[in-house]
Amino acid sequence: MSSKKITRALISVFYKDGLEPIVHQLAKHNVEFISTGGTQEFIEKLGYKVTPVEHLTGYPSIFGGRVKTLHPAVFGGILYRRADAGDVKQAAEFKIAPLDLVIVDLYPFEETVAKGGSEEDIVEKIDIGGISLIRGAAKNFNDVLIVSSRNQYAEVLELLKNKNSSTDLSDRKRFAALAFNVTSHYDTAIFGYFNQEQNIPSFKSSYSNGKALRYGENPHQKGIYFGNLDGLFDQLNGKELSYNNLVDVDAAVNLVREFEGETAFVIIKHTNACGVATGSSVKEAYLKAFQADTVSAFGGVLASNQKVNLAAAEEMNKLFFEILIAPDYELSALELLKSKKNRIILKQKQRLSATKQFKSLLNGVIEQDLDLHTDTKNDLKTMTKRTPSSAEVNALLFASKICKHTKSNTIILAVEGQMLSSGVGQTSRVDALRQAIEKAKSFGFSLKGAVMASDAFFPFPDCVEIAHQQGIEAVIQPGGSIKDQDSINFCDAHNMAMVFTGFRHFKH
């Protein structure tokens, strides 16, 4: 039969919040409770009789609680098939009573790792009995309902109320699927912990929280975000974030964090920076960033690494933009920015913590370390006769940070604290430079005394030749071409400074 009434329930959970109304609901229909330890005490304090698991098994909890439920009297009651005559006969022979409902959660393994627990503490939080009960009950979904997480309590309570503590096959099958989602995520987390040392070449990544997006990159594509976005941001205003919004927010947050200790502002369009600047205030940094491309900033994603005040908000409010991200907002600034109901305002609460990135391709997945290297003064090796001035060094490092977050091939032209223009995603480095020069000029910038940054080496001296013609006086690049000396010689002949970093920053 599809519909089955619950008569006996095994309940053993680590987290008891939200459990009480479920117990009351089951008790209304005379369900017998089987339990252990703290959960047994919890149910008894609610006024209900509980059969301890050890009365079923004939064994106490042993080995410091490592073995409590691993016994045929428990697993037989879960796994025996009620429609199978042989199973029913064996259950009667060994006096195994059926269990129709199992409510079990898992020890907090991920939480213990996140809190920096010792290896001993972490290993003890690897659940054995709980995960076995969940898998067993989920496997026998034809006869048993499994509730495997406190996140399912509200749903199961509604189900039990609506169906008088009975369940249909479709209910049990859904909760079985939820259970295998819980167990697979749990095992992935455990593997990830051990694989930090072992480096077994196996790709496993699990995100339990999935949120359907309006669509993917384009309206005909489906899109889902997996992760805890609410843990990273408070959304203070605006419509729901789209797939493309999320991609741009990620680009903005990653770029602006490069300028720790400074007041920085970035404007992103299609994952690339169309404006980046630092300043003495958020207002100044914003205005300098906006100057670099007053056209592309329209509909862009804005990010500040400092609290946004009213003076800055008044300037930003003149622009139509999709999203603003900042660590905080003055109340008056927030009220002004919220005047546009669809404008998305995000307050960033946490730093990004990922160290790996991956994507699907060729029927598989590639994974790599994130490019977390930021070029510093210690990386710079002067290759030319002329050493760059202190101001040029600051400008070069500033430009290099932007290069790292811009689609290859890329060239960034800048002065200290302000990006002037960029050449983005070109198939040739010369084309990227020409694009950057044309763009800088179109917005009224003089390139005399500016610096140039490249994400990769120059295979020929043509880029430094063109840069010199425009008045650019200092260059930063990783180096590594067999023809590096040609570019160095040109710089020396024209009193230009060039530094190598030794770090390439391709971005595809």
Q: Indicate the residue type of 338.
A: K
Residue reference for tokens 């940070």: 401
CA separation for the pair 107, 128 (Å, rounded): 9
Q: DSSP string spanning 223-250?
A: -EEES-HHHHEEEEESS---HHHHHHHH
Strands (E), 435-508: 451-454, 474-477, 497-500
Element spanning 8, H or E: strand 8-12
**Residues 498/491, Cβ–Cβ less than 8 Å:** yes
CA separation for the pair 84, 490 (Å, rounded): 86
* 200 Cβ contact partners less than 8 Å away, ≥ 6 residues apart: none
* 196 Cβ contact partners less than 8 Å away, ≥ 6 residues apart: none
How far is CA 399 from each of CA 278, 326, 343, 450, rounded to the nearest angstrom? 12, 22, 30, 10
Residue 194 burial (CB count, 10 A) = 12
CA separation for the pair 233, 210 (Å, rounded): 16
143: nearest Cα among 164, 117, 172: 172
* 425 Cβ contact partners less than 8 Å away, ≥ 6 residues apart: 272, 407, 408, 409, 410, 432
18: nearest Cα among 151, 121, 193: 151
Element spanning 120, H or E: helix 119-124
CA separation for the pair 456, 454 (Å, rounded): 5
Catalytic residues: 139, 270
CA separation for the pair 399, 452 (Å, rounded): 7
- Token readout for 195 is 């694989």
**Residues 370/449, Cβ–Cβ less than 8 Å:** no
CA terminus-to-terminus distance, the chain: 56
How far is CA 453 from each of CA 60, 388, 425, 434, rounded to the nearest angstrom? 70, 14, 14, 13
